[in-house]
Chains A and B, each alone.
Chain A
């Protein structure tokens, strides 16, 4: 079973718009990571946020973590066609790494 559940499953936006995707999980975690996967490629790490952190930024990416609600969100600002990809959250709980099913983002030029 997968602990991380992303929402929405798919998202289509225009270039320049912001994209927000959410991840919910069930148990306490050590940290939560977001990854991107372009079609037919391996996963690329985006951001790691620890359980005692609430927000992190990296370029156009902003990640928030609410441990009381067991949820995280990934915001991509000023999206570009090159951001088209699948985005996965991965929860690290105990010794386990569990990925969700992902959000498929399509950015139209």
Chain B
């Protein structure tokens, strides 16, 4: 079974530029998460999808971050414009049916904003 796929793995951009991250969850998983992980910290939830519905986006900085999950499968997280403080690892995870189940994480996208 293929795991969670994320791309790109690394991204370096200048501040004020836009950036997008892509995630393909494990086949059949209804729940999809985007997390941000700063160096030396645990993951911080940005948004959770149940199928194509964003059921928890309370931690998503909506002035510059947006996300979508078309058709309830792949998801894209966008930052526009990026700021220096956005430098972090962005992790995508998926779970089977509900938020209470085991989460399977992708390798993450390491973003550096210069």
User: Is A95 a contact of B55 with CB atoms below 8 Å?
Assistant: yes
Complex CA gap A5/B106 in Å reads 24
Q: Which of B55, B99, B108 contacts A97 (CB under 8 A)?
A: B99
Interface segment among B12-20, B42-50, B62-70, B76-84: the answer is B42-50
Instruction: List B30-57 residues whose CB lies under 8 Å from chain A.
Output: 33, 35, 40-45, 48, 55-56
Q: How many residues of B contact A (CB 8 A)?
A: 24
Q: Which residues of A contact B106 (CB under 8 A)?
A: 42
Over the window 72-109 of chain A, the binary record of Cβ atoms lying under 8 Å from chain B Cβ atoms (1 yes, 0 no) is 00000000000000001010100111111110000000
Q: Which residues of B contact A98 (CB under 8 A)?
A: 45
Query: Cβ of A2 < 8 Å from any Cβ of B?
Result: yes
Query: Cβ of B21 < 8 Å from any Cβ of A?
Result: no
Over the window 1-43 of chain A, the binary record of Cβ atoms lying under 8 Å from chain B Cβ atoms (1 yes, 0 no) is 0101000000000000000000000000011010100000111
The 6 closest A-B pairs by CB, nearest first: A99-B42, A42-B105, A43-B105, A42-B107, A45-B102, A99-B43
